[in-house]
Amino acid sequence: MEKYVYIALFAPLVGSLFAALFSQRPKALITGVVTSTLLFVSFVASVILLNHVSQVGAVHVTMMDWIQAGDMSIPFGFNIDQVTAVMMTVVTLVSTVVHVYSNGYMDHDKGFNRFFSYLSAFVFSMMVLVMSDNFLGLFIGWEGVGVCSWLLIGFWYHKADVTRDVNPSISPSWAANEAFIMNRVADLGMLVGIFLIYWNIGSLQYADVFAAVPSMDHGMLVTIGIFLFIGAMGKSAQFPLHTWLADAMEGPTPVSALIHAATMVTAGVYLVIRANPLYSAIPEVSYFIAVLGTFVAIFAASMALVNRDLKRIIAYSTLSQLGYMFAAAGLGAYWVALFHLAAHAFFKALLFLGAGNVMHAMDDELDIFKMGGLKKAMRWTYLYMGLASLALAGIWPLAGFFSKDTILEVAFNEHTYGIWLILWFTAGLTAFYSFRQVFLTFTGDERYKPLGFHPHEVPKYVLWAMSPLALLAVIFGWYKDEFVAFITHFLPTYEMSEHTEHFVVILTVVTTAIALSGIVFAWFRYSKGLKRSAKVEQSLPYRILSNQYYIPILYENVFSKPYAALSHAFWEEIDQQVVDATVDGIATAIKDGGDSSRKIQTGNLSDYLKLMSGGALVLVALVLFAAMQN
């Protein structure tokens, strides 16, 4: 089995390096083909491993030593257990689809080869993240995906910075930096968590760490849990580190699909799931995670309500869904979180890829107010996006229904009715904004026509490439029971209480009802075309939401600008005016001392004699002190 581990892991890397060889050449289709093929190979290996894990059990390999210093010993070790296998399969599957899709999507881009190199490198990092058997290995992947994300968000680095009014993300390179730096903030928390683990347990291997959890001081566990979760918050863009995700939509759409929807952003969820023995031991932290997740769910959904940017809406919905996952994980339903993670990966990637199709058709125009009626030109895309949106809204029998509904049940089951209520309400919002987007894009009047767009459907094979996702978005939920059976070999089972079982039908109905009502409301509001109301758009809530609660501006004014101002002050006021000036001041003082003491040297002999006599007088006058002492 070891070789499949390595194949699954390194195939993307090989692809990436292969593509890198061509990075400065003009577009070569071979890079796309080779990377996609290798990704497929990786996917196959992952599936084989998944099968193996389900049949035989976990696979563990140690490739080689990495860091060994003092008592710290960190190998490149890979552990393929149920969670990993699921993650690997999801990642490689979505990646393969996105790779194939990108062959079409990036067709005319100058950086075609470079793109595939980055994208495969990302998959490699993601595989390291999920496969590693220790926290530092996870951190490698963690940072690796961060860098790839940086590269890919900033893929069109040549675009100039513009103001926030023109583009809320300012520029791809700005967004890339924002993402990277914000992630770094969280990574610091993660590092601190890792240090805490090391110095308290003496090892970073998952096996050792989780074995030690029961015997550890509770306070310490809480601290570790908090810091690890800070890391997760960054990668999964949880409040208050969420702003980068929406800005990250500056990257090419396949990137958004793969990284900022399906895989990387779920790494935080993965971490919490992975560390479930730890979080199970600290319910207070877990509860906080759940509350935060819930908050992010509604918070992000609210921003999606009014947004006009096709991709940003999806990004907010991703954010919102991540909140759902954290809520589930925080409530102890780890497998539910993982299930939603996987389901979400499929339908959200599909949604993004659909958005990519639309962008392609609309010459990269993203404003849904400028679209409408695209369904004529883009029937399949409409179908895919509709499907994905239905799944997102949680409509039976699509995947989202099963996963999201379970989360709500969990919330109910835990007697955290507040969480349940909010999540339930958010489900309605989700349905509304998803379909607001779908309807504004695909139905109603063709607002793009006056603007001179000539939309067209994407090539066939691109549509084919998307089909696995579509399929999974539909059927994945049907395999819930198999999934549970498989995953609970590793993750703790989550049993609904009798009380909940009692209500489960009602809950399902209620949830479906609000989702449907959201869709219906969107239908009435938008399916006939765009009806803008200046009054609504001028209203305070609308403005708050469309400005993302003014949080980016707040961050700019509270962090970025003061940081820059403080930096300049440190440099100009302190470093130059105080520190360096002190040094130079000492030097100048010595030199001035020289200048003033050289005045002694008048050149006039008489002065010299006076000085000499004066010196002699001082010396001889010392006897007066001696005389006084006697």
Partner 1 sequence: MNDILSVLIFFPLIAGILGLVVSEKSIRTYGISVAAVEFILSLWMWFVYDPANAGMQFVKRIAVIPDFGISYYVGVDGISLFIVIMATLMTLIGIIALSVKKDLKNMILTLLFLEVAMVGVFVSLDAVIFYLFWEFSLVPMLYIIGAWGGEKRLYAAVKFFLYTFAGSLIMLVGMLYVAYVYQSVTGSWSFALTDWYSLVLPISVQKWLFWAFFLGFAIKVPMFPFHTWLPYAHGQAPTVGSVILAAVLLKMGTYGFVRFSLPMFPDASVMYITPVAILALIMIVYTAMVAYAQKDMKQVIAYSSVSHMGVIILGIFAMNAEGISGSVFFMLSHGIVSGALFLLVGVIYDRRHTKLMSEFGGLASVMPNYALIFGVMLMASVGLPLTMGFVGEYLSLAGFFKISPVMTAIGGTSIIFGAVYMLSLYKRSFFGPVTHEANKVLKDLDAKELTALIPLVAIVIWLGVYPKPVLQPIDNSVKALVSFMHEKAQTPEAKNTIVVSKRTKEAQ
Partner 2 sequence: MIPFAFYLFAILITGLFLVTVMSKNVLYAMTSLAAGMVLISGLFFILGADFLGVVQLIVYVGAVMAVYAFAMMFFDVTRDVEERHDKPWLVFLLGGGIAVTLVVIFAAPIMGETVHALYPPVAGATNPQAVGLVLFTKYLLPFEVASVMLLVAMIAGIILAGKKMEISLSAMDEDMIADTKEHA
Partner 3 sequence: MLAPISVNMASLNFITLSPMLIAIAGALGILIIDLVKKDLDKTLYVILTILVLFIDMGATLGLTLNERGFFDVVMIDGVTILGELLIVIASMLFIPLALTSKRFHEYSYPEYFALFLFMIAGFQFMVASDNLIMIFVGLETASLALYTMIALHNTVGSHEAAIKYFTMGALAAGFFVMGAAIIYAVTGSVELYDIAKVLQERIGEPGMMVPIIGGAMMLMVAIGFKVSLFPFHTWTPDVYEGAASPMAGYMSIVPKIAMMVVAIRVLGMYIDLGVETVRNVVIAMAVITMTLSNMMALVQNDVKRMLAYSSISHAGFVMAAIALDTTKANSSIFLYYTLFLFTNLGAFALLWVSRHKDKTHHVRYHHPYVKFAGMIHIEPVAAVIMAIFMLSLTGVPPFSLFWGKLYVISATVDAGYIWLAVIMGLNSAIAAYYYLKLIVYMFLMPAADQARTVYNNRSLALEIVIGIAVFATVASIFYVQPLMHYITYLIGASGY
621: contact with partner 2 by CB under 8 A: yes
- Minimum CB separation from partner 3 for residue 588, in Å? 11
Task: Specify the 3-state DSSP secondary structure of 59.
Answer: strand
Name the segment binding partner 3 (CB under 8 A); options: 30-38, 390-398, 451-459, 617-625.
617-625
Cross-strand bridge partners of residue 60: 79
Over the window 174 to 213, marking each residue x when it contacts partner 3 by CB under 8 A and - when it does not, the resulting string is ----------------------------------------
Cross-strand bridge partners of residue 134: 205
Using CB under 8 A, pick the residue from 450, 605, 623, 629 that binds partner 2: 623
For residues 160 and 617, which CB has a smaller minimum distance to partner 2 in the complex?
A: 617
Name the segment binding partner 2 (CB under 8 A); options: 354-362, 459-467, 578-586, 613-621.
613-621
> Residues with Cβ < 8 Å from 309, sequence gap 6 or more?
168, 249, 366, 367, 368
Residue 591 binds which one of partner 3, partner 1, partner 2, none, with CB within 5 to 8 A depending on kind? Answer: partner 3
Report how far residue 328's alpha carbon sits from residue 409's, in angstroms, rounded to the nearest whole number.
10
Residue at token pair 């390595």: 6
Residue 379 binds which one of partner 3, partner 2, partner 1, none, with CB within 5 to 8 A depending on kind? Answer: none
Report how far residue 590's alpha carbon sits from residue 596's, in angstroms, rounded to the nearest whole number.
10
Tell me if 236 sits within 8 A of 187, measured CB to CB: no
Over the window 229 to 258, marking each residue x when it contacts partner 3 by CB under 8 A and - when it does not, the resulting string is ------------------------------
627: contact with partner 2 by CB under 8 A: yes
Name the segment binding partner 2 (CB under 8 A); options: 84-92, 135-143, 377-385, 619-627.
619-627
For residues 450 and 594, which CB has a smaller minimum distance to partner 3 in the complex?
A: 594
624: contact with partner 2 by CB under 8 A: yes
Residue 70 binds which one of partner 3, partner 1, partner 2, none, with CB within 5 to 8 A depending on kind? Answer: partner 1
Long-range contacts at 216-221 (CB < 8 A, ≥ 24 apart): 218/281, 218/282, 220/196, 221/278, 221/281, 221/282
Task: Give the CA distances from residue 81 to residues 50, 121, 138, 207, 211, in Å, rounded to whole numbers and listed in that order.
Answer: 8, 23, 15, 12, 16
Report how far residue 451's alpha carbon sits from residue 445's, in angstroms, rounded to the nearest whole number.
13
617: contact with partner 2 by CB under 8 A: yes
- Minimum CB separation from partner 2 for residue 612, in Å? 10
Report how far residue 14's alpha carbon sits from residue 380's, in angstroms, rounded to the nearest whole number.
34
Report how far residue 514's alpha carbon sits from residue 522's, in angstroms, rounded to the nearest whole number.
12
613: contact with partner 2 by CB under 8 A: yes
For residues 180 and 483, which CB has a smaller minimum distance to partner 1 in the complex?
A: 180
Q: Return residues touching partner 1 (CB under 8 A).
A: 23-24, 64-72, 136, 139-140, 143-144, 147, 150, 154, 157-161, 171-174, 176-177, 180-181, 184-185, 187-188, 191-192, 194-196, 198-199, 202, 563-564, 566-568, 570-572, 574-575, 579-580, 582-583, 587
For residues 505 and 621, which CB has a smaller minimum distance to partner 3 in the complex?
A: 621
Token code pair at residue 101: 């899709």
513: contact with partner 2 by CB under 8 A: no
614: contact with partner 2 by CB under 8 A: yes
590: contact with partner 3 by CB under 8 A: yes
**What DSSP string describes 460-482?**
HHHHHHHHHHHHHHHHGGGGHHH
Segments in 135-212 forming alpha helices (H): 135-153, 172-201, 206-212
456: contact with partner 2 by CB under 8 A: no
591: contact with partner 3 by CB under 8 A: yes
601: contact with partner 2 by CB under 8 A: no
Report how far residue 154's alpha carbon sits from residue 494's, in angstroms, rounded to the nearest whole number.
41
Q: Which residues of 350-389 are buried (b: 16+ CB within 10 A; e: fewer)?
A: bbbbbbbbbbbbbeebbebebbbbbbebbebbbebbbbbb
> Residues with Cβ < 8 Å from 13, sequence gap 6 or more?
120, 121, 124
- Minimum CB separation from partner 2 for residue 620, in Å? 5
Residue 593 binds which one of partner 3, partner 2, partner 1, none, with CB within 5 to 8 A depending on kind? Answer: partner 3
For residues 501 and 595, which CB has a smaller minimum distance to partner 3 in the complex?
A: 595
Report how far residue 619's alpha carbon sits from residue 107's, in angstroms, rounded to the nearest whole number.
94
Using CB under 8 A, pick the residue from 450, 597, 620, 629 that binds partner 2: 620
- Minimum CB separation from partner 3 for residue 580, in Å? 17
- Minimum CB separation from partner 3 for residue 6, in Å? 56
SS (H, E, C) 287-351: HHHHHHHHHHHHHHHHHHHHCCEHHHHHHHHHHHHHHHHHHHHHCCCHHHHHHHHHHHHHHHHHH
For residues 30 and 586, which CB has a smaller minimum distance to partner 3 in the complex?
A: 586
Name the segment binding partner 3 (CB under 8 A); options: 63-71, 78-86, 521-529, 598-606.
598-606
Q: Interface with partner 2 by CB under 8 A: which residues?
A: 610, 613-614, 616-617, 620-621, 623-624, 627
Name the residues that contact partner 3, by CB under 8 A: 587, 590-591, 593-595, 597-598, 600-601, 603, 605, 607-609, 611-616, 619-620, 622-623, 625-627, 629-630
